Homo-oligomer: A and B are copies of this chain.
């Protein structure tokens, strides 16, 4: 059975808890205004964006040369999308004004035939569509569409949707199976999922058909990208025959149906798989559903860090091989974990199994949030699980790993991606169909779910404890699904003070016959847990990660001293959880004791002498808040006493 669970409109959900309410306030009041300044090149000491500058030139309002990457336009589109979510959740006059101004600019910049891409319009007119593999026209088009759909949903203003559909129609004319049509497909996937969104928004199935075409066309023979390469052999992407290079980087080495596991650039891959899941869902396509399941299983069961990071190689920002999860040289791009959350939610919509929500939650609460500083002004691309800042300048092979979040990147894909994820978090929390409402993430606030007929309020301090109270405000008597997280060893449900033993389905408790006024108390035990990786994960042999609820913890130098690799967790270590209102915006810390090994002499090598063992207290903080107190060592995986 294909489920078609859908999120409710963002306008229908009010988020009021400290955790997500706080993040959304940060996005609204700091991150998006800051990013607007960045897009306008007004942040001192940060890499220049050039984004608005390029649109001004394309619109004829300014003279000059294109600045920045060939995908720079997409930073604006993602910003608009995030702004749209903010506007849908409430009002923000300043953001609305900026968005309206820039949409006008985009209308002016769009060519009469619908084409819109400042890189080609300003810097390479006449060369459009000549290098789909290397450049990002179709990728940017996808982000344009996502922004336009969101903006229309939020404001009812369809100007941007007009821009997007005109471009989509041009693409539809140009690409397809027809004799005269181009047989190419996006060099960086994204348009596929966007076209499904546009199809669902407009009711025009043709957009979904084009998405399906792109999915199936990819990697077929004659290989379109290789043909392009014959015409112009210059390339900036990892090339050659290695498993990290060539067509595999693009997921274009073979047709999608023959791809047995996830490989290549991780963001590309998960955007692709999201599009595959979308097409599978709306077209009831068993073949693509099988591909999507296979890819999800491979990523989540063999190539994902405990933090939900994916893409372990800095070379190609790519998946590598099963169980290759180095902690210090990892790429683990913030965008890739966001893409994994996109993919997981789509699988969840189609399959309804809470294990997809487990992965979604892991990626969101750990790596996606770690991408941004507490101040909302500094961002990580790369999310290591272990860092020694002093040694980084000497390690050419970790040159992608930074010891602190920079203000902005010339290639700024991650910051606006965090913004659009956080501002649309309710879309990940609730799904519904005509029979049931499903609570996947636990967020304090209120929600209206019109398809399932529910309205309810939620109170919780999640993720700091596992108690969730749901007050039913309206009900048609449909089912309410409460997710049973993978990290939770035991949970109980009370309705109106009475303990129930609800039936379970696909990893959810299922409550039936709820009525207005019912109060549900859902208590998930949230012990500190030792997480161990499978024996084939070489880097984690003999190590544990510490997790409580969805939150993975880490040790920082500021709390525990240097040389964190010399700390060992005894087998009988006990863990105390302590709420620290004053620390890192308010977090639960975990306290325990470790044993530090120190050498008995300063000789580089000593014979037979056993290291000294000294007990020391160990304090762990949530990984997603690391590096907010200066530069220092950090480790997620701690060594433990194994024998």
The CA of A302 and the CA of B532, in the complex, are separated in Å by 33
Q: B391 near A534 (CB under 8 angstroms)?
A: no
What residues on B are CB-neighbors of A545 within 8 Å? 605
What residues on B are CB-neighbors of A611 within 8 Å? 532, 535, 642
Question: Contacts A243-B393, A388-B538, A642-B641 hold; do A605 and B533 have CB atoms under 8 A apart?
Answer: yes
Q: How far is the CB of A472 from chain B (nearest CB, A)?
A: 32
Q: List 29 A-B contacts (CB under 8 A).
A: A242-B396, A301-B603, A301-B604, A314-B396, A315-B397, A324-B394, A397-B397, A489-B607, A531-B606, A532-B599, A533-B604, A533-B605, A534-B599, A534-B601, A534-B602, A534-B603, A535-B597, A535-B598, A536-B563, A538-B565, A541-B566, A541-B639, A542-B542, A542-B639, A568-B642, A570-B643, A595-B643, A613-B643, A641-B642
What residues on B are CB-neighbors of A489 within 8 Å? 607
The CA of A568 and the CA of B321, in the complex, are separated in Å by 25
Q: Is A349 an interface residue (CB 8 A)?
A: no
What residues on B are CB-neighbors of A541 within 8 Å? 563, 565-566, 597, 639
Chain A residues within CB distance 8 Å of chain B: 238, 242-244, 300-302, 304, 306, 313-316, 320-321, 323-324, 329, 388, 391, 393-397, 487, 489, 529-538, 541-542, 545, 547, 563, 565-566, 568, 570, 595, 597-599, 601-611, 613, 639, 641-643
Q: How far is the CB of A122 from chain B (nearest CB, A)?
A: 30
Q: How far is the CB of A244 from chain B (nearest CB, A)?
A: 6
What residues on B are CB-neighbors of A565 within 8 Å? 538, 541
What residues on B are CB-neighbors of A597 within 8 Å? 535, 541-542, 642
The CA of A85 and the CA of B541, in the complex, are separated in Å by 49
User: A605 touches which one: B313, B531, B608 (CB < 8 A)?
Assistant: B531
Nearest B residue to A302, CB-CB: B604
Q: B391 near A324 (CB under 8 angstroms)?
A: yes
Q: A608 near B568 (CB under 8 angstroms)?
A: no
What residues on B are CB-neighbors of A603 within 8 Å? 301, 534
User: A304 touches which one: B324, B604, B607 (CB < 8 A)?
Assistant: B604
The CA of A603 and the CA of B531, in the complex, are separated in Å by 11
Nearest B residue to A602, CB-CB: B534
The CA of A613 and the CA of B487, in the complex, are separated in Å by 25
Counting chain B CB atoms within 10 Å of each CB, the highest count among A568, A602, A643 belongs to A643
Q: A604 near B300 (CB under 8 angstroms)?
A: yes
Q: A397 near B314 (CB under 8 angstroms)?
A: yes
What residues on B are CB-neighbors of A605 within 8 Å? 306, 531-534, 545
Which 8 interchain pairs have the tightest Cβ spacing?
A: A315-B396, A397-B397, A641-B643, A535-B599, A320-B394, A529-B607, A541-B565, A321-B394
Q: A643 near B388 (CB under 8 angstroms)?
A: no
Q: How far is the CB of A353 from chain B (nearest CB, A)?
A: 16
What residues on B are CB-neighbors of A599 within 8 Å? 532, 534-535
User: A563 touches which one: B300, B535, B570, B598 (CB < 8 A)?
Assistant: B535
What residues on B are CB-neighbors of A238 within 8 Å? 396
Counting chain B CB atoms within 10 Å of each CB, the highest count among A238, A306, A397 belongs to A397
User: A607 touches which one: B242, B531, B606, B613 (CB < 8 A)?
Assistant: B531
User: A320 touches which one: B395, B529, B641 (CB < 8 A)?
Assistant: B395
Q: How far is the CB of A590 from chain B (nearest CB, A)?
A: 15
What residues on B are CB-neighbors of A243 within 8 Å? 393-394
The CA of A530 and the CA of B609, in the complex, are separated in Å by 8
Nearest B residue to A569, CB-CB: B643
What residues on B are CB-neighbors of A535 within 8 Å? 563, 566, 597-599, 611
Nearest B residue to A606, CB-CB: B532
What residues on B are CB-neighbors of A316 within 8 Å? 396
Q: How far is the CB of A478 from chain B (nearest CB, A)?
A: 33
User: A608 touches which one: B321, B530, B533 (CB < 8 A)?
Assistant: B530
User: A532 touches which one: B529, B609, B643 (CB < 8 A)?
Assistant: B609
